[in-house]
Amino acid sequence: MSGIEVKMRKRINGKFEKVGAISKKTAVTVMEANLDLQEQYWLPYLVGNLPGTILKTMDNRYYR
């Protein structure tokens, strides 16, 4: 895992925690999480890459 990947994972996870997206029930959209453009580009790469990280619902909502 590269340094930039670790940094982006922490930034995105922090934003999901801040808005309370910690379970499938509380998952949020990219806009609700207030992700910037760079974070949005990284999101597909980080989803489901490692256990216990960012997950995606069937209706395109995300949670940590």
Report the distance separating Cα 33 and Cα 49, nearest Å. Answer: 19
Domain boundaries, the chain: 3-63
* E strand segments, 1-64: 55-56, 62-63
pLDDT tens figures, 11-47: 999 999 999 999 999 999 999 999 999 999 999 999 9
pTM, full prediction? 0.86
Q: Decide: residue 63, CB within 10 A, 0-12 exposed, 13-18 middle, 19+ buried.
A: buried
pLDDT tens figures, 38-49: 999 999 999 986
